[in-house]
Amino acid sequence: MTSSRPTAAARPGPISFRRRGPVLERAILDAALEQLSTVGWSGLTMEGVAAGARTGKAAVYRRWPSKEDLVADALRAGLPTLDEAPDRGGVREDLYEVCRRMRDAMLSGPGIALRSVLHECDVNAAERFQAVIVNGMIKPSTELFREVVARGVARGEVRPDALSGMVLDVIPAMMMYRTKVSGSEWPDDEIAQMIDQVMVPLFRS
Per-residue pLDDT of 178-192, as tens digits, reads: 887 888 899 999 999
Task: Give the residues of the chain that fall short of pLDDT 50.
Answer: 1-17
How many angstroms separate the CA atoms of 176 and 126, rounded?
Answer: 16
84-119 confidence digits (pLDDT tens): 788 998 999 999 999 999 899 888 888 888 888 877
Architecture of domain 21-67: Orthogonal Bundle (1.10)
Closest CA to 174 of 195, 144, 201: 195
Architecture of domain 91-204: Orthogonal Bundle (1.10)
Residues 153 and 204: beta-carbon distance below 8 Å: no
Domain range annotation of the chain: 21-67, 91-204
What is the pLDDT of the chain when averaged over all its residues?
85
- State residue 140's pLDDT score: 86
Residues 148 and 95: beta-carbon distance below 8 Å: yes
47 Cβ contact list (under 8 Å, min separation 6): 57
How many angstroms separate the CA atoms of 41 and 112, rounded?
Answer: 11
